[in-house]
Amino acid sequence: MCSEIPCSQAKSQIDFFQNALDVDCPNLVQNLLTDSNRVFLETFVFSSRSLLLTRCLAIFLILFSEMDALQVEIYDCKTLKLMVTLNNISSDALIVRVKEEVEKKIPHLSVVRQSLRQDPRGKQLDDYEKLSLLKGFSAGAALHLYLKDLGPQIGWKTVFILEYLGPLIIYPMFFARLPWIYGSQYAYQYPKHVVVRLALLCWTFHFAKRLYETMWVHRFSHATMPLRNLFKNCTYYWLFAAFVAFHVNHPLYTSPHYCSVQVILGLAGFVLGEMGNYSIHIAMSNLRPAGSKVRKIPHPTSNPFTILFDYVSVPNYTYEILAWISFSIMTQCLPAFIFAVCGAYQMTVWALGKHKAYRKEFISYPQRRRAIFPYIL
């Protein structure tokens, strides 16, 4: 029978193992001496006939880890100057681990504001990509990565809530005709035109839907965006809300030229656009499992509004453009049309970028699909 080692003596061997690692490979302790490894080692020590085996195991792990360890040099994307050198990084470590180590060395560079790439002008590396799988990786050679500081960050959800909350508050203020907007003679004289009231309902519904989708539907690819985008996005939506609301709710506003026919057609188009937009957002949300960044080719579902996936890559933009063009027709208001055109231009730019990314990422991506307008663009 094997004689058991006293508890105090066994514990001292565990301390030896940790001390050995601390001396020879300081960054390895956190990787190898996890709780599960510690339990294994304690069991191993208690059941070992000779303390020599424990020492051999420690030495073996140290030597093995040194063979596997990398030196990662991080350079500034703009100046190309060396920012920091990271030692003893495992070749199987993920990019996000490298970012965490950079943050330890340079505290103001939090993980979310780092963009790492292999070339100063290259594509950003995915957080969950292994170092050993990077292009040109060579075991034992120093790995060069380039870091771009994305600046202070803010959560996507926070930005969306703030930018959509503004139009929900601003537009009704003009509908109520507060004294400082159109003058005291029109104060609190609510518009009587049916189309003006419909416009308020449509506007409120759209941005309330946006808030709902932000909270419970959308699944964001990235957790944050640059803080500067908050001011840019809020300025765009808030100013346009005031611009459109001022004219649609103006005391001198006149109803559309073709009266009920134009209003009904515009309202119908708006409702269809909103329903289609929401349907696509639901389909896209269901396409990606919660908590993952998996990307798949979107296809039509049982919802008839999703049939547009057969023709364009981002039908949610197509439906939203339809909604705002229809809103412009319903109100016959030039500022509303300008808002629709500006939005259509920006969404077209985004759609072309996403369409290009889809075709590059998926070899089997449907060739007949266009970016945003069926058969056209």
Percent of the chain with pLDDT over 90: 64
Q: What is the pLDDT of residues 279-330, one digit of tens each?
A: 999 999 998 876 667 789 999 999 999 999 999 999 999 999 999 999 999 9
- Across 242-251, average pLDDT: 97
CA dist 202 and 239 (Å) reads 18
Q: What Å distances lie between residue 362 and 271, 297, 356, CA to CA?
A: 33, 8, 10
Return the pLDDT at 354.
95
Q: What is the pLDDT of residues 79-113, one digit of tens each?
A: 999 999 999 888 889 999 999 999 999 999 999 99
Average pLDDT, the chain: 85
Return the pLDDT at 291.
65
Q: Give the start-to-end residue ranges of the domains of the chain.
A: 7-67, 69-151, 154-361
CA dist 206 and 195 (Å) reads 16
Question: Which comes out higher in pLDDT, residue 276 or 259?
Answer: 276
* Burial class (CB within 10 angstroms; exposed 0-12, middle 13-18, buried 19+) of 45: buried
pLDDT at 13 over 90: no
Return the pLDDT at 132.
84
pLDDT at 4 over 50: no
Closest CA to 63 of 25, 16, 27: 25
pLDDT at 14 over 80: no
Return the pLDDT at 266.
97
Lowest mean pLDDT among 67-71, 151-155, 237-241: 67-71
Q: CB neighbours of 168 closer than 8 A, spacing ≥ 6?
A: 204, 207, 208, 211
Which CATH number describes the domain made up of 69-151?
A: 3.10.20.90
Name the pLDDT band for 181 (thresholds 50, 70, 90): very high
- Render 2-44 in DSSP notation, one character per residue: PPPPPHHHHHHHHHHHHHHHHHH-GGGHHHHS-HHHHHHHHHH
DSSP 8-state assignment for residue 111 = G
Return the pLDDT at 55.
59
Q: What is the pLDDT of residues 22-64, one digit of tens each?
A: 444 444 444 444 444 444 445 544 444 456 665 555 555 544 4
- Across 256-271, average pLDDT: 92
pLDDT at 8 over 60: no
